[in-house]
């Protein structure tokens, strides 16, 4: 699992990120997820979103690892969310055009790609005073969130029974609710992209309006 590169690079950056993380943990502990996503007063929105991308990356990794033995190339030969939604992988480099891959391959490629984004100083700056790219929220963050959503959609549609059997349902539901509330509040995922998990969101009390 990754953490911000800057956590060991400067005391200023480390202190800011530690404070933001403590704020997030404190509000999450209140069970009010809508409060937990709010930007702390005076803080930079890009840094707040970047911090959460790292946390969501780690949460998804943890949840998926717990059911990965059931998500095989044979059982999940296509990355999908039920019969109506299929996702193809593209990264603009090795996979320049969208290609059909199995779910475990898609998720592996996605997590490797996300880690590279997080570790890229040009994309996720950690040096004090270095600004985030102007399109960080609308391009980089939005794409990461949309792809993370697909992992949740796949787990809910194809591995929810396993999650229940392994007592992962509370963790999955809480992590997903936090993720969706955050994405909606900062307009990082378009309403149409929530279609595969719309029923789940309704059952969790999440609406596509912030």
User: Which residues are annotated as part of the binding site for Zn(2+)?
Assistant: 71, 76, 154, 159
Structure tokens at 148: 């993370």
Length of the chain: 210
Calculate the alpha carbon distances from 17 to 12, 49, 154, 199 in Å: 9, 11, 31, 34
Name the DSSP letter for residue 22: H
- Sign of the CA dihedral running 36, 37, 38, 40: positive
Structure tokens at 68: 């990965």
Known binding residues are 71, 76, 154, 159
């Amino acid at each position: 699992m990754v953490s911000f590169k800057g956590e060991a690079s400067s005391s200023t950056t480390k202190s800011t990120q530690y404070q933001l993380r403590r704020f997030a943990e404190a509000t999450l502990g209140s069970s009010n997820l809508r409060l937990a996503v709010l930007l702390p007063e005076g803080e930079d929105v890009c840094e707040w979103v970047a911090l959460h991308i790292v946390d969501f990356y780690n949460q998804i990794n943890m949840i998926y690892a717990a059911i990965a033995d059931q998500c095989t190339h044979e059982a999940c030969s296509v990355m999908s969310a039920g019969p109506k939604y299929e996702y193809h992988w593209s990264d603009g480099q090795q996979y320049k055009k969208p290609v059909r891959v199995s779910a475990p391959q898609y998720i592996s490629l996605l997590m490797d790609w996300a880690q590279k984004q997080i570790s890229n100083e040009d994309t996720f700056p950690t040096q004090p005073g270095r600004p985030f790219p102007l399109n960080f929220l609308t391009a980089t963050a939005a794409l990461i969130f949309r792809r993370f959503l697909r992992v949740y959609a796949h787990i809910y549609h194809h591995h929810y029974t396993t999650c229940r059997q392994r007592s992962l349902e509370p963790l999955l539901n809480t992590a997903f609710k936090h993720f969706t509330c955050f994405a909606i509040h900062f307009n990082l995922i378009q309403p149409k992209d929530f279609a595969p998990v719309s029923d789940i969101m309704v059952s969790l009390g999440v609406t596509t309006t912030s």
